[in-house]
Each structure stands twice: as structure tokens, then as C-alpha cells.
């Protein structure tokens, strides 16, 4: 894994402890923490979009989201053009999401995955790179679908 990547991270109230664990587990990375910072209930779409827009603008290389299941955060992030957010709770899915689908945002569920495995999932995802060839063609088709439905 390349050191000192620029990463954005955010969580809702259920993901606060896991978010803190992830930041601490990767001290060689530059984290832009977009919240939340307290356990008071917040709306996950707001935080997911903040990370997704930061990735889209190129202010960071990749984004990480944490909520209860990862699903809601991924759904919200995927509404932002150019974002390919994937939910992963195992290293195999994390690696292929990055290599085959060029996922630029990773969503995790704090109620689904333990902190030790979450660190390994993020480590695997960060160490993986998008592959060319047939995967690149398929990712381009994802972008074409997105373009077709833009208003």
C-alpha cells in the first residue's frame, strides 16, 4: 500500500467508534474527517454526499464511509456522478470492488463487521488498484449509464 494517500472519511452516529479505529489504524495516511464527531443522531446521506463530493472534486484520492450496514451510505454516495461506492465486509469483496469495479468509495457497516476485520478490509482495498482490460470497459459502461440518466 502506498503511504500518505489523501482519504476522506465520514460516519453516522452508529459508525463513530469504527471511524476512529480506522483513522488510528492508518497513521501514514492523510485523513480528511468530515464527521460526525458525536453520538447524537445524524442523517447518513448528508455525510455520504460530503465524502463523495470531496472524492469527485479530486481533493482526496478515495473515500471511506461507515454507518450501521454500509448500505445507506453507499446508496447516497452513488447518487453523486463519478462515484462508485461499494459495500464490503470481507477482503475478497474489497479487493475486487477496487480492482474490477474501480470503487473510489468504500462503505462499511459498524453493526456488521468487527473492528479488526474492518481494518483488514480497508487495508486490502487501499492496496488494490483498478485493473485495465475487460474491467476498464465495464467501468466505462457504468459511467455511460450514469450519463444517460443525468438531467
Instruction: Tell me whether strands 85-87 and 30-33 are parallel, antiparallel or unpaired.
Output: unpaired
11 is catalytic: no
Spatial contact of 18 and 120, defined as CB atoms under 8 Å apart? no
C-alpha 2/C-alpha 126 separation (Å) is 8
**Which residues touch 110 (CB under 8 Å, ≥6 apart)?**
11, 14, 15, 17, 18, 66, 67, 68
**Annotation marks residue 89 as catalytic:** no
Q: State how far Cα 107 lies from the chain centre.
A: 5
Which of 13, 89, 100, 135 does the annotation list as catalytic? 100
Task: Show which residues are catalytic.
Answer: 67, 100
Amino acid at each position: 500500500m502506498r503511504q500518505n494517500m489523501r482519504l476522506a472519511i465520514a460516519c453516522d452516529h452508529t459508525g463513530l467508534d469504527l471511524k476512529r479505529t480506522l483513522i488510528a489504524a492508518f497513521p501514514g495516511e492523510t485523513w480528511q474527517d468530515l464527521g460526525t464527531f458525536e453520538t447524537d443522531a445524524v442523517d447518513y446521506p448528508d455525510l455520504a454526499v460530503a465524502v463523495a463530493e470531496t472524492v469527485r472534486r479530486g481533493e482526496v484520492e478515495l473515500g471511506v464511509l461507515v454507518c450501521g450496514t454500509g448500505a445507506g451510505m453507499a446508496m447516497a454516495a452513488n447518487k453523486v456522478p463519478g462515484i462508485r461506492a461499494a459495500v464490503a465486509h470481507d477482503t475478497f469483496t474489497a479487493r475486487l470492488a477496487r480492482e474490477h469495479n474501480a470503487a473510489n468509495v468504500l462503505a462499511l457497516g459498524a453493526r456488521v463487521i468487527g473492528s479488526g476485520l474492518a481494518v483488514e478490509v480497508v487495508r486490502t482495498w487501499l492496496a488494490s488498484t483498478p485493473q485495465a482490460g475487460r474491467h476498464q470497459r465495464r467501468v466505462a459502461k457504468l459511467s455511460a449509464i450514469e450519463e444517460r440518466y443525468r438531467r
